[in-house]
Chain A
Amino acid sequence: MKLTGAEIFIECLKREGVKTVFALPGGVVLKIFDMLHQQKDIEVILTRHEQGAGHMAEGYAKATGKAGVCLVTSGPGMTNVITALADAYMDSVPVVCFSGQVPTNLIGNDAFQEADNVGLSRPCTKYNFLVKDVNDLAATIKEAFYIATTGRPGPVLVDIPKDVSMAKAEFTYPNSVSIRGYNPTYEGNKWQIKQAAEAIMKAKKPILYVGGGVIFSGASQELLELAEMTQVPVDMTLMGLGAFPGEHSLSLGMLGMHGTYQANMAMHYSDLVIAIGARFDDRVTGKVSEFCPYAKVIHVDIDPTSIRKNIHVDIPIVGDCKNVLRELNQILRATVNGEQKDLRKPWWDQIREWQAAHPLTFHQEKEGPIKPQQVVKRLYELTKDRDPIVSTDVGQHQMWAAQYFKLAKPNRWLTSGGLGTMGFGFPAAMGAQAAFRDRLVLCIAGDGSVQMNMQEMATAVVNKLPVKIVILNNGFHGMVRQWQDLFYEGRYASSYLDTTPDFVKLADAYGAVGLRVKKVGDLDAILKEALATDKPVIVDVPTYPYENCYPMIPAGGCNHEMLLEDPPELKQKQSGATKVAPEDKDTVLTA
């Protein structure tokens, strides 16, 4: 039987097990929407902006480990979703994005709402397709899901012209995919793995540096076994949080620009860096020439281009983290004995010393302004038994969330790492909530970031996605303000937000619940109230505006040279000077 392109599209999605599509219609995709409207298997979540649809697909993918799917129209629909695709590309998130295109006979004619979708998305997708013939549609969709979810995952775009969605073809869904130019390496080289095992046995000061690859590959269990067996401390990247239990005694927390003191010191002074599914991003390496000066480097990654891109690697292993770790553990199980523990005792003593010297700290006065760290800490303590999924936007609040929200399991942490996309958090949380209706999904946001996709509150209310947003509201683009205080002599160029909306009223306007924490003593009660609500909630928490995020390695700095607190001149300024900004802000907030 012949089906239209739109029907084929739906049949393909069903066969890929797609349950939810985040979508926004337009002229050239109406046929597809019309068919979606007439079936029950796939839920369509109508977003208020295509960027929201893209981030929701990302959130869905990160929380489930399956491909997230979004559907947008041609022209502006496509250009709006680009940010989400670029974000997914940087963070290796499997997203399949379908875009409408003007009819094939009009392509290139500057038709209404025409854009070169394939050209626009080329640098920010793993692969993209323009389907010119309805007979190719099914095979193309199969390939799109295959490419998005295999190897190093990433976003794939399928551009479908209007006439292709209308035309009819015989529907057959291919069982398998074979692309001659695409054969990801899953099994690590055995000889290299043996070398790695030997290096780990011999190392006196080894450190595991683990990233998002461990989560995508589902290798957390293998990682735990490796770390416990060999007693090697674990540093996690921002993307890797949750890959290893945050409260485990072997965990040193996050490393990098705002990583913990012990994580960065251990990295700097180690003699063996075991990088697993991480890519030596500049926020981790700092000054490349002085990165890990004493260490040999083992690098396990499924993407060969990640290896030796930024730093020299001694033992490269291309393969899937799970497979490689399994083999590595097998070798080590036979050889490891109690000696490693003794061998590494001085190393652990040193690490414990670092840990004790500079733990993460902040000072919360009983009656004073609310410190943002306190909010994250309490939120963590109040929710950890409910195994929440946590999303963040980008900025100071993101770093505090990374520092204080200690995740126990993978696929609980939704954050924009590589691209650093403000506005990511809320829609991503909604995507996760759409996948897991009964779970607790939190979004820790900043007052700057959250406004970038605030419109999606309508989507959350209509679709009953009860995400709990906690806004650390400092009235600033806080990270920008921090850099201005540290590196631009305190000139707050465009970092003060001046008129932040009343988030409580805003929530109310959307039909959600708005709550505000007026003093630190109310924090627990209000958070509990929010957690007990079954609707989307905004908790607005006005926080101390001049709190800075430490430790901090200034950009291009060296990993063992961290700023641990405000420099004296800044402290003086912060305490003594009367500032216009916070007073203004107070009036805004109490008005």
Chain B
Amino acid sequence: MLRAESPASVLSTRVSTLRNMEHIISVTVENKFGVLSRVAGLFSGRGFNIESLSVAPTLDPSMSQMTIVTSGDERIIEQIVKQLNKLIDVIKVVDLNETEFVSRETAIIKVHTKDADRAEALRIVDIFRANVVDSTPSTYTIEVSGDPKKIEAIINLLQPLGIKELVRTGRVAVAREPIRSTAVQAKKVARE
């Protein structure tokens, strides 16, 4: 999982306007060495933005599934999809924004907790249906998953207690059923 190249680019993508939309692109690739660097190199070499990228093998171990969160205007996104398709190790590219999709992100947050804060932390965990996965006399380690807004919200609430460490997986996403012709559409867009 890769974070964006600079904090500034993260901030800029959060403000999604009509011109510069955030897109989630699902990419099926060959599961072999060097593929991640080909994809990452494409983005850096052509000046495209990556907000997050997550990758893991699919059910078929010869392939991996990448979820890339990126942003750009219509023309840039079209180029990103086409350029990804052009990579020989890329098997399929779907711009999930062309359809309905579900996306999730997991965060693991280590929070300082003393005395009364411990109860407050647990209340927050409860509200967000998060889990405490590790506990020491002075910290809780909390695992939460959901859409990015939910993650942002729990981070905001936990911040006053003092966040010691925070890791996020970046988003993974899948199109809602029925997919219908999503894949076909994406290929068509790419081939035009």
Which A residues lie at the B interface, using CB under 8 A? 118-119, 122-123, 126-127, 130, 147, 179-182, 185, 303-305, 307-309, 316, 318
Sorted from nearest, which 3 A-B pairs have the closest CB atoms?
A305-B82, A181-B91, A182-B88
- A181-B30 contact, Cβ under 8 Å, with A147-B88, A304-B191: yes
**Contact partner of A180 among B75, B83, B91, CB < 8 A?**
B91
Q: Would A308 and B75 count as touching, CB distance under 8 A?
A: yes
**CB-based contact A181/B191 at 8 Å:** no
Q: Which residues does chain A contribute within 8 Å of B192, judged by CB atoms? A: 304, 307-308, 316, 318
Contacts of A127 in B (CB 8 A): 88
Residues facing A in B93-118 (CB within 8 A) are none
Q: Is the CB of A309 within 8 A of B79?
A: yes
Chain A residues in 8 Å Cβ range of B88: 126-127, 147, 179, 181-182
> Nearest residue in B to A317 (C-beta to C-beta)?
B192
Q: Does B41 contact A (CB under 8 A)?
A: yes
Which chain A residues border B90 with CB–CB below 8 Å?
181
Residue ID in chain B nearest A182 by CB atoms = B88
Contacts of B190 in A (CB 8 A): 304
**Which residues from 21 to 40 on chain B have a C-beta closer than 8 Å to any C-beta of chain A?**
29-30, 34, 37-38
Residue-wise, chain B 72-95 has the 8 Å CB interface mask toward A (1 for contact) of: 000100110011011111110000
A303: B residues at CB distance < 8 A: 86
Task: Answer whether residue B45 sits at the interface, using C-beta atoms and an 8 A cutoff.
Answer: yes
**B37 and A304 form a contact (CB under 8 A):** no
Residues of A within 8 Å of B38, CB to CB, are 122
Q: How far is the CA of A103 from the CA of B78 in the complex (A)?
A: 42
- A140 nearest CB across to chain B (Å): 13
- 19 sampled A-B residue pairs with Cβ under 8 A: A118-B34, A122-B38, A123-B41, A123-B45, A130-B34, A147-B88, A181-B30, A181-B87, A185-B191, A304-B82, A304-B85, A304-B86, A304-B190, A304-B192, A305-B83, A305-B86, A308-B79, A308-B192, A309-B79
Interface size bucket, B side? 20 to 34
CB under 8 Å from chain A, chain B span 160-192:
190-192
Q: Closest residue of chain B to A156, judged by CB?
A: B88
Q: How far is the CA of A47 from the CA of B34 in the complex (A)?
A: 31
Q: State whether B37 touches A181 (Cβ < 8 A).
A: no
Residue contact A122 to B41, C-beta cutoff 8 Å = yes
- A181–B62 Cα distance when bound, in Å, is 13
User: Closest B-chain residue to A181, C-beta based?
Assistant: B91
- Residues on A with C-beta less than 8 A from B89 are 181
B75 to chain A: closest residue by CB: A308
Using Cβ atoms and an 8 Å threshold, which residues of chain A touch B82?
Answer: 304-305, 307
Most B CB within 10 A of own CB, among A118, A303, A305, A308:
A305
Please, how many angstroms separate the alpha-carbon atoms of A565 and B65 in the complex?
Answer: 58
Note all chain A residues with C-beta closer than 8 A to B79: 305, 308-309
**Tally of A-B residue pairs with Cβ under 8 A?**
45
Question: 20 new A-B pairs (CB below 8 Å) besides A122-B38, A316-B192?
Answer: A122-B37, A122-B41, A123-B41, A127-B88, A147-B88, A181-B29, A181-B30, A181-B87, A181-B89, A181-B90, A181-B91, A304-B85, A304-B86, A304-B190, A304-B192, A305-B82, A305-B86, A308-B75, A308-B78, A318-B192
Query: Whole-angstrom distance between the alpha carbons of A53 and B4 in the complex?
Result: 40
> In whole Å, how far is B22's beta carbon from the nearest beta carbon of chain A?
21
Which residues from A are CB-within-8-Å of B37? 119, 122
Query: Looking across the interface, which residue of chain A has its beta carbon closest to that of B89?
Result: A181
Tell me the bound Cα distance from A147 to B89 in angstroms: 12
> CA A113 – CA B82 in complex, angstroms?
37
Neighbouring B residues of A307 by C-beta, 8 Å: 82, 192
| A163 and B38 alpha carbons, distance in the complex (Å) | 26
- Report chain B residues within 8 Å CB of A118: 34
In the assembled complex, how far is the CB of residue A327 from the closest CB belonging to chain B, in whole angstroms?
17
B86 to chain A, nearest CB (A): 5
Distance of A307 Cα from B86 Cα, bound (Å):
13
In angstroms, Cα B31 to Cα A588, docked, is 62
Q: Nearest B residue to A152 by beta-carbon distance?
A: B86
> Nearest Cβ distance between residue B94 and chain A, in whole angstroms?
14
- Given the known A-B contacts A181-B89, A305-B82, are A318 and B41 also in contact in the complex, defined by CB atoms under 8 Å? no
Report the separation of the CA atoms of residues A147 and B29 in the bound assembly, to the nearest whole angstrom: 17
**Taking the nearest CB of chain B, how far is it from the CB of A120, in angstroms?**
12
Residue of A nearest to B63 (CB): A180
Q: How far is the CA of A82 from the CA of B160 in the complex (A)?
A: 54
Question: In the assembled complex, how far is the CB of residue A412 from the closest CB belonging to chain B, in whole angstroms?
Answer: 30
| Chain B residues with CB under 8 A of A122 | 34, 37-38, 41
Min Cβ gap A320→B in Å is 13
CA A304 to CA B79, docked complex, whole Å: 9
B191 touches A318 (CB 8 A): yes
What distance in Å separates the Cβ of A282 from its nearest Cβ neighbour in chain B? 15
User: In the complex, what's the smallest C-beta–C-beta distance from A59 to chain B, in angstroms?
Assistant: 26
* Closest beta carbon of chain B to A210's beta carbon, Å: 21
How far is A182 from B90 in the complex, measured between Cα atoms in Å?
8
Chain A's closest residue to B92 (CB) is A181
Rounded to whole angstroms, the CA-CA distance of A127 and B90 in the bound complex is 12
Complex CA distance for A194 and B37, rounded to whole angstroms: 41
A118 to B45, CA, bound (A): 16
A318 CA to B192 CA, complexed, in Å = 6
- State A315–B45 Cα separation when bound (angstroms): 28
Distance of A308 Cα from B76 Cα, bound (Å): 10
Roughly how many angstroms separate A127 CA and B35 CA in the complex, as a whole number? 11
B59, chain A: closest CB distance, angstroms: 16
**List of B residues within 8 angstroms of A185 by Cβ:** 191
> Within the assembled complex, what's the spacing in Å between the Cα atoms of A127 and B86?
11
The CA-CA distance from A307 to B83 in the complex, in Å, is: 11
Q: Distance in Å from the Cβ of B38 to the closest Cβ of chain A?
A: 7
Contacts of B86 in A (CB 8 A): 303-305
Cα of A123 to Cα of B91 in the assembled complex, Å: 19
Chain A, residue nearest B93 (CB):
A181
A181 to B89 CA separation, bound complex (whole angstroms):
6
CA distance A303 to B83 in the complex (A): 10
Chain A nearest CB from B27 CB (Å) reads: 10
Enumerate chain A residues within 8 angstroms of B41, measured Cβ to Cβ.
122-123
**Distance to closest chain B CB from A107 (angstroms):** 12
Nearest-Cβ distance from residue A241 to partner chain B, whole angstroms: 26
- CA distance in complex: A316, B87 (Å): 21
Distance A181 CA – B90 CA, assembled complex (angstroms): 5
* Docked pose: A316 CA to B79 CA in angstroms: 14
B69 → chain A closest CB, angstroms? 21
User: How distant is the Cα of A439 from the Cα of B89 in the complex, in angstroms?
Assistant: 41
Closest residue of A by beta carbon distance from B42: A123
Compute how far the CA of A309 lies from the CA of B46 in the bound complex, rounded to whole angstroms: 12
CB A61 to nearest CB in B, in angstroms, measures 20
Instruction: With both chains docked as a complex, state the minimum distance between the C-beta of A139 and any C-beta of chain B, in angstroms.
Output: 14
CB contacts (< 8 Å) of A182 on chain B: these are 88
A185 CA / B88 CA spacing, docked (Å): 14
Whole-angstrom distance between the Cβ of A203 and the nearest chain B Cβ? 21
